[in-house]
Amino acid sequence: MAAPPKKAFPLRLDPALYAAIERAAAADFRSVNAEIEVLLREALDRRGVKVGVTEAPRRGRPPVKEGSGYE
């Protein structure tokens, strides 16, 4: 079963804030989007809000089924 797609929405940020997030993302070898997600999860965790992680779909070839002739 495929994981639901990530929710996309427009986000307006102060340019100085965006620049700071961009620098932090580069230091952590992340995209700005991934850095924002990490920062939001950390902030929610500090407030005691637990957020589960949606399981990503598995990459690569699916496992071979028994009896398929490809074992």
What's the pLDDT score for residue 70? Answer: 62
Residue ranges of domains in the chain: 15-46
Distance CA 6, CA 1 (A): 15
Whole-number Å distance between alpha carbons of 37 and 11: 13
User: Alpha-carbon distance 36 to 65, whole Å?
Assistant: 40
pLDDT at 30: 96
Per-residue pLDDT of the chain (71 residues; tens, 9 = 90+): 566 678 899 999 999 999 999 999 999 999 999 999 999 999 999 999 998 877 777 778 877 877 766 66
Q: What is the pLDDT of residue 71?
A: 60
- 30, 15 Cβ separation under 8 angstroms: no
CA–CA dist 53, 70 (Å, integer): 34
